[in-house]
Amino acid sequence: MTGPVTDPVKSAAPASVETVEAVVRRQLSQALGGRRGMIEAAVPTIAFTVLWLTTGELTLALALSVSAAVLLLVVRLVQRSSVQFVVNALVGIGIGWLFVARSAASGGSEQEQALAYFLPGILYNSGYTVVLALTCLIGWPIVGFMVGSVTGDPTAWHQDKQIVKLCTRLTWLLVLPCMLRVVVQAPIWLAGNSGSMDPDTAVAILGVAKIGLGWPLQLAALGAMVWVLARNHTPMTETATSSASSTQQTSTGPAAD
């Protein structure tokens, strides 16, 4: 009697998705844009930092970083591929430029304006750290919603403690790079802005740190995540089954909502 019951259940699960780990790997790859997406995010920062360190011309450094991002955008458009990650880089540059303009309007020196360019990234990583860590602490890790986006039920995965535990570990691995960037960059920014460190030195260190703690650190975190995912094989069938059965058996559910 149990055989005929389990066969339809297995067939209800998506054939292309066998485990939670497979889902997470695919979703992370899409979210980060792969190697190309991370390189495209790093190029504008490299351009800004190198030009600022070699010329000391803030406007020229900003203009070159924007030009590099626009060039990458044009290449994407010509290839008719996703422009999401280049646009993200352009948005980041635009926000940085706004902080620079705000510093200039308040009478900041060119060194202070250069420091202002790095402030949005520090604030972004601080916010990202707090939000992602909070999702783990309250028991609703953000990676779990990646699983939910595939099963069709954004919260069904939370019924399986094994999946929650796995997603919590993976979310903490996403938190660590952001936390490390803040721990390293924030004291340097504060020291340069307060005058306890030479502003040019602070800008140079921040530029190198932003690059070094950018996609290389992200790749290291992803490597750790791949290792965690390779050690586990959590079947999607239970989550998919609970989602499917709850939809079929409780037809009054949507009406109650």
pLDDT beneath 70, residues of the chain: 1-35, 38, 150-151, 232-257
Question: How would you write 60-100 as a 3-class SS string?
Answer: HHHHHHHHHHHHHHHHHHHHCCCCHHHHHHHHHHHHHHHHH
What CA–CA distance (Å, rounded) separates 185 from 177? 12
Least Cα distance to 175 among 211, 131, 219 occurs for: 131
- Reported in sequence order, the residue ranges of 64-214 that DSSP labels E, i.e. its strands, are none
What CA–CA distance (Å, rounded) separates 130 from 179? 9
Do residues 135 and 141 lie in contact, with contact meaning Cβ atoms separated by under 8 Å? yes
245 in a structural domain: no
Residue type, 170: L
pLDDT at 40: 75
pLDDT at 256: 44
pLDDT at 111: 83
Evaluate the CA torsion angle 105, 89, 216, 121 in order and state its sign: positive
pLDDT at 231: 72
Q: Which two tokens stand for residue 43?
A: 């190029």
pLDDT at 16: 44
pLDDT at 223: 80
What is the tens place of the pLDDT at every residue in 210-219? 878 877 787 7
What CA–CA distance (Å, rounded) separates 97 from 92? 9
pLDDT at 189: 95
229 in a structural domain: yes
9 in a structural domain: no
Give the range of the structural domain holding residue 52, as residue numbers without chain letter: 18-235
196 in a structural domain: yes
247 in a structural domain: no
pLDDT at 186: 96
Phi, psi dihedrals of residue 33, rounded to the nearest 5°: 75, 15
pLDDT at 129: 96
pLDDT at 18: 54
Least Cα distance to 32 among 41, 20, 21, 22 occurs for: 41
256 in a structural domain: no
Compute the chain's Rg from CA coordinates.
Answer: 23
What CA–CA distance (Å, rounded) separates 50 from 41? 15
This prediction's pTM: 0.69
5 in a structural domain: no
Exposed / middle / buried, residue 103 (Cβ in 10 Å: 0-12, 13-18, 19+): buried
Looking at the structure of the chain, the number of domains it has is 1
What single DSSP character describes residue 196? S
Three-state DSSP state, 19: strand
Do residues 121 and 100 lie in contact, with contact meaning Cβ atoms separated by under 8 Å? no
40 in a structural domain: yes
